[in-house]
Structure 1
Amino acid sequence: MLRFAVLGLGFMGRTHLATLAARPQAEIRAVHDSDPQRLTRPLAPGGGNIETGAAGWDESAVRRCQTLEEILNDEDIDAVVVATPSHLHARLSCAALAAGKHVFCEKPMALKLADCDRMLAAAGKAGRTLMIGHCIRFWGEYAAAAEIVRSGRFGRLQLLTMSRRCGVPTFGARGWFTDHKKSGGALLDLHIHDVDYALYLLGPPRSVRARGLRGPSGGYDQVLSWYDYGRAGPVVQLEGGWSAGEDIPFVMSFRMCLERATLVYAMDKRPTLWLYSDSAEELQAPAVSGYEAEMDHFIRCIRSGKPSRVVPPESSRQSVALALAEAQAIRSGRAVEIH
């Protein structure tokens, strides 16, 4: 049994709490939030931009810690989930690793590459597992598509387009999403999901081009990017951002054109995932959610003592580097080479 603490009681913190509560190999020992009022409220999930499917749970035995030190100094806590505003990820992850805890940190890994490097160094020094919550690598439809592409069954991938949109998030404490110094804007908070998946599926591109607009965060909240994989590689276009309007639904989608088939996914359609080849075939994604699958994987990594092969932290750093390269391309109006 692994004993967990969760830092941050916003939408994702409460989602991870519900996920952990349903895992027989995990026990939730403590929670902490910098807002004292949140520590007095129910810990049930909800209030975000996507339906998680997580259920309520018995939270009566969970300690609600007023200070971070209470958790870091508790030798009975094995692992910490960092689900705070993004600008705090590096500081809190490094502190937990230094205290001997395994760390699951929400995406993005950090807002600066120097902070990503600090986290990698802290994990190496502590000899503990560090994993970043890039849930799309585990999301049923995305995982199923990756398996088909990698199998080579329908030839090589020729074109990949992905889109991810929602309204401007208003559910973050003290409006942190709409402060790019804390969230990185939609570029690093939302769009990075597709940046990371493209990296996972195809590896790093040769170069990146991008167009973008600044929005409510003061950062890039509308992004359209193109990844160059060379003449023999696929055409890749990623689009995403925060759209104006209170009732704009969260939507994500992709189209993958292979030599002998096309995969189409749209979360707001039913069925969500289709394979078009000699005929149209509805594909069934695993029933387990991406949040559940990534947490199960994290627990297995801790128990085995082996680093994640699905989402190694070095790859999460690379995702941040690609997103920052997109920002550079937007500012310069030129392609940015990826080294």
Structure 2
Amino acid sequence: MKKVAIVGAGYIGKLHADILCNKIENTCVTSIMDNVEKKGRDLADKTGAVYYKDFDTMLRKADVDVIAICTPTFLHTEMVVKAAGAKKDIFCEKPLALSVADAEKMITAARNNKVNVMAGHVLRFWPVYVKVKEIIDSRELGKTYHIYCERLVAFPDWAESGWNREEGLGGGGALDVQIHDIDYIISILGKPDFINSQGTYNSAFGGWANMVTNMGFSDGITGCVQAGWGLPPGFPFTNVLRVVCENGTVEWTFRAGKLLEKRDLNSPMVIYKADGTILEETPDGTDAFLIQWKYFIDCLESDRKIENATFEIDGDATPLTGGWDYSDAKVTRSSTQANDGTYSLKILPAGGNVT
């Protein structure tokens, strides 16, 4: 039985708490930490956990094995470093950090303290994304030419304090939303040779509100991600995954409600084969957040190495920030572009080239 502390009692913290309390037998939520007392106590009462208002106090007093960091992005680095220093295994929600430098601090802390860590890149466990990766890896449709991902949503209202509207606190939709799909493509194809993005900067939406990012890989495969949270209120959480291959194309389109409250619904994946055949397949509808936690806890209990959604890829932190160093992008924009609008960004992946 693994004892888990949930740090952050907001939307995503509640989602994880529900899974850990009600859907996994070998876990128990023993501690809830949130600096907003009512919110933290409400979740603690619901889960039967002990409430803490202060993170350092929780680290000293709580009887926990795993700490789940579900706080705003700008708080991740300090909390992960402290949790690692306390010898706790760590689950940290995405985005891992606002900059590569911060991500590297987190990786170093985990290594030095020999703790197990995992990032909340849930697409790696989402059944339809897993199935499409299997199609690509097996070359079932021949060589892969292009991967397109889309993730669009109305500006989220789950951040009660409005931190996601602050440019330096959340990274905007470019980081918070886009990172899902960039990480997914990187998990299949490895590090890109180049990344080029064009985005709409809107200060009302916390900075980079909508982005289109193109990637190129050494084997000639290309990737494209359209993502953002600068859509009108009422626009449904929209996901698209399309893979163009030598002998066919795979496509999946899904609308998951305002946020993810309808993620249990399923829509078919369609395979258009080169011979004109059209096939529909509805992947397993198991909740990816549940699969993610089962994987992490199973690795911990069986002392198995965590190989999926780690804090790094091949010893490099850059892919876990989606190839995006927000601190650099912010400096580039503020020095040359004073107003809201659409701009091209130059983003450098590890070992890659700026275009």
SS of 2:195's equivalent in the other structure is strand
Deviates more, 1:137-146 or 1:269-278: 269-278
What is the letter of the counterpart of residue 170 of structure 1? D
What is the letter of the counterpart of residue 178 of structure 2? H
**8 Å contact from structure 1 (residues 109, 317) kept in 2:** no
Q: CA deviation at 1:37?
A: 1.9
Query: Which residue of structure 2 aligns with residue 23 of structure 1?
Result: 24
Q: 2:312 aligns with which of 305, 308, 314?
A: 314
SS of 1:131's equivalent in the other structure is strand
Q: CA 1:60–1:150 in structure 2 vs 1: closer, same or farther (change >3 Å)?
A: closer
Distance 1:72 1:42 in 2: 18
What is the letter of the counterpart of residue 237 of structure 1? C
Give deviations 1:273-330, integer Å, cap 9, x for gaps.
Answer: 1122252222232232111111111112212333321222113642316123894799
Distance 1:193 1:60 in 2: 28
Query: Which residue of structure 2 aligns with residue 283 of structure 1?
Result: 281
Q: CA deviation at 1:235?
A: 2.5
- What is the TM-score when the length of structure 1 is the normalising length? 0.89
Gap runs ≥5 in structure 2: 257-265, 334-341
What is the letter of the counterpart of residue 234 of structure 2? D
Distance 2:347 2:72 in 1: 30
Query: Which residue of structure 2 aligns with residue 273 of structure 1?
Result: 269
SS of 1:59's equivalent in the other structure is helix
Q: CA 1:75–1:257 in structure 2 vs 1: closer, same or farther (change >3 Å)?
A: same
Give deviations 1:146-166, integer Å, cap 9, x for gaps.
Answer: 011101121111111111000
Report the identity percentage.
24
User: Number of residue pairs matched?
Assistant: 324
Query: Which residue of structure 2 aligns with residue 48 of structure 1?
Result: none
SS of 1:41's equivalent in the other structure is helix
Query: Which residue of structure 1 aligns with residue 37 of structure 2?
Result: 36
Query: Which residue of structure 1 aligns with residue 100 of structure 2?
Result: 113
Deviates more, 1:310-319 or 1:203-212: 310-319
Query: Which residue of structure 2 aligns with residue 46 of structure 1?
Result: none
Q: CA 1:321–1:137 in structure 2 vs 1: closer, same or farther (change >3 Å)?
A: closer
What is the letter of the counterpart of residue 274 of structure 1? V
Deviates more, 1:266-275 or 1:246-255: 266-275
What is the letter of the counterpart of residue 26 of structure 1? T
What is the letter of the counterpart of residue 220 of structure 1? W
Q: CA 1:41–1:257 in structure 2 vs 1: closer, same or farther (change >3 Å)?
A: same
Query: Which residue of structure 2 aligns with residue 13 of structure 1?
Result: 13
Q: CA deviation at 1:336?
A: 4.5
SS of 1:186's equivalent in the other structure is helix
**8 Å contact from structure 1 (residues 195, 319) kept in 2:** no
Q: CA 1:196–1:321 in structure 2 vs 1: closer, same or farther (change >3 Å)?
A: closer
Distance 2:303 2:57 in 1: 26
Tell me if 1:85 matches 2:72: yes
Distance 1:337 1:85 in 2: 24
- What is the TM-score when the length of structure 2 is the normalising length? 0.85
Tell me if 1:136 matches 2:132: no
SS of 2:186's equivalent in the other structure is helix
Distance 1:76 1:40 in 2: 18
Q: CA deviation at 1:39?
A: 2.2
Distance 1:336 1:86 in 2: 21
Counterparts of residues 219-238 of structure 1 (less than 5 Å): 219-230=207-218, 232-238=219-225
Distance 1:123 1:335 in 2: 27
Q: 1:189 aligns with which of 153, 160, 176?
A: 176
Query: Which residue of structure 1 aligns with residue 135 of structure 2?
Result: 148
What is the letter of the counterpart of residue 10 of structure 1? G
Query: Which residue of structure 1 aligns with residue 259 of structure 2?
Result: none
Query: Which residue of structure 2 aligns with residue 50 of structure 1?
Result: none
